[in-house]
A = this chain, B = another copy of it.
Amino acid sequence: MNMQLYTELCQRFGIRYPIFLAGMAGGPSTAELVAAVSDAGGLGTLGAAYMEPAAIRQSIQDIRKLTDKPFAVNLFASAATKASDNLDRIGEVQHELNRMRETLGIPQAGCGSADWFEKQFTVLLEEKVPVISTAFGILPEPLMRQAKAANLLVVTMVTTVNEALMAEQAGCDAIVAQGSDAGGHRGTFDLTEHPMGANIGTFSLVPQIVDQVKIPVIAAGGVMDGRGLVASLVLGAQGVQMGTRFLTALESGAHEVYKQALLESTEESTVITLAFSGRPARGIRNAFIKRWDATGLEPLPFPVQNTVTRDIRNAANRQNNPDYMSLWAGQGTRRLTSGQRAKAIVYETIQEALSLCGSSEITDPHE
Residues of chain A having any CB pair with chain B under 8 Å: 1-3, 160-162, 179-181, 193-194, 198-205, 207-208, 211, 221-225, 227-228, 230-232, 234-236, 266-268, 330-332, 334-335, 355-358
Contact = CB atoms under 8 A, between A and B. Distances in A.
B1 A267 contact: no
A200 B208 CA distance: 19
Number of this chain's copies in the assembly equals 2
Contact of A227 (B207, B224, B228, B355): B207
A205 B267 contact: yes
Contacts of A1: 1-3, 356-358
B161 A2 contact: no
Given A161-B267, A224-B207, A358-B1, A331 B200 contact: yes
B204 A330 contact: yes
A332 B200 CA distance: 9
A223 B161 CA distance: 17
22 contacts: A1-B2, A2-B355, A160-B268, A161-B334, A180-B180, A181-B200, A193-B268, A201-B201, A201-B203, A203-B231, A204-B222, A204-B331, A204-B332, A205-B267, A207-B224, A207-B332, A208-B267, A227-B234, A227-B235, A228-B235, A230-B234, A231-B234
A227 to B, nearest CB: 5
Nearest to A334: B208
Contacts of A2: 1, 355-358
Secondary structure dominating the interface of A: loop
A358 B193 CA distance: 42
Contacts of A355: 2
Contacts of A225: 207
A178 to B, nearest CB: 11
A179 B224 CA distance: 16
Given A1-B1, A1-B3, A208-B332, A203 B179 contact: yes
Nearest to A332: B204
B234 A222 contact: no
A265 B223 CA distance: 27
A222 B194 contact: no
A334 B355 CA distance: 32
Interface centre among A181, A234, A334 (most CB of B within 10 A): A234
Contacts of A228: 203, 207, 235
Nearest to A330: B204
Contacts of A162: 268
Nearest to A357: B1
A316 B63 CA distance: 62
Interface centre among A181, A201, A211 (most CB of B within 10 A): A201
A179 B293 CA distance: 26
Contacts of A222: 201, 203-204
A203 to B, nearest CB: 4
Contacts of A207: 224-225, 227-228, 332, 335
A98 to B, nearest CB: 30
Contact of A202 (B204, B227, B335): B204
